[in-house]
Amino acid sequence: MATIRGRVEAVGPLRFDRYASEELKMLTRSQLKARFVSLSVNGKDAKLSRSVEAGDDFALELLDEEDRSSASAPEDIPLSVLYEDARVVVVDKPQGMVVHPAHGNWSGTLANALLGRFAAEGRAAPARAGIVHRLDKDTSGVLIVGKSAAAQEALAAQFRARSTVKTYLAIVRRGPSADSGRLDGWLARDPRERKRFAPSSEGVGKRALTEWTVLARAGGYAVLALGLRTGRTHQLRVHCKALGCPILGDPIYGSPDGRFPGASLMLHAWELRIRLPGDDEPSTFRAPVPERFAATAAALGLDGFPLPPGGAAL
């Protein structure tokens, strides 16, 4: 992977991809998109469409040609399919699987698995293997993929409009004092640690909205239903920490737990409600509670905890 740093010189407001292509003669815009990993402008994460002007500092990360080749390679990786038709495939992503290839994870990703699945079916894969949303590596659960460019865009438009309903389950330490609530604020990268995010002042970073309900409590732990109303990186993990009840097993926003020292992240994307391309009414998809989650709940005496009402906002 290559990192290119520089300062924009002598140009008025212009999309970064056009600036890199037309002014710097770096790559064509399509080549930039194909090899794009990340972009920051003046220290803040940005998209290729971000407008830049003279004096802006940028850092652009691109895949090397060798990395790009391996990142787009189809692989025969079994997937747990929850639903499939001619338009979409809905999978239960396992904990530990990365969604998109990136530095350190060029193979074995969900994208590689989907490309392998499409190739086996003799189907041309849409851009980014049809993926329209993501889950963190250590988060398991339901994820929907478009099987054509048209289906992919129909799904992506709903995520952009925030018309989807996404409900997660989490086992947290301590548990909030109230039985339900709402966190509505702003998140930005932690200035002390670039891999972390933290609550920020209004207008700094991106707005993040989470609704939560306690499903069960026991022994200083709780099971929460988390309604993700915006899809910010690490949003639920940061918000649980802000509530004073970090997610059990969170290596970034939590700390080792004395009772469950080997716990992995107890966060699971349980339900997604979305309208399939061409349908008038939304469909609801659920990923079963994973074994790691059920076993921990059982150890707390919380096995059989009530699940939230399906297909509705909390």
Contacts of residue 187, Cβ cutoff 8 Å, sequence gap at least 6: 197, 198, 199, 200, 205, 206, 207, 208, 232, 234, 235, 238
Distance (Å, whole) CA 212 – CA 298 = 22
Distances (CA, A) of 153 to 119, 133, 148: 21, 12, 9
Catalytic one among 56, 67, 136, 250? 136
How is residue 275 annotated by DSSP? P
Residue 128: both structure tokens together: 């980014």
Burial class (CB in 10 A: 0-12, 13-18, 19+), 91: buried
- Residue 189, number of CB atoms within 10 A of its CB: 20
Amino acid making up residue 197: F
Distance (Å, whole) CA 301 – CA 82 = 29
Distance (Å, whole) CA 93 – CA 310 = 20
Active site includes 184? no
The string of DSSP codes covering 105-174 is BSSSSHHHHHHHHHHHTT-PPPGGGGB-----TT-EEEEEEESSHHHHHHHHHHHHHT--EEEEEEEEES
Q: Do the beta carbons of residue 100 and residue 134 sit within 8 Å?
A: yes
Distance (Å, whole) CA 221 – CA 1 = 42
Contacts of residue 25, Cβ cutoff 8 Å, sequence gap at least 6: none
Contacts of residue 151, Cβ cutoff 8 Å, sequence gap at least 6: 87, 88, 126, 130, 277
- Catalytically active residues, by annotation: 136
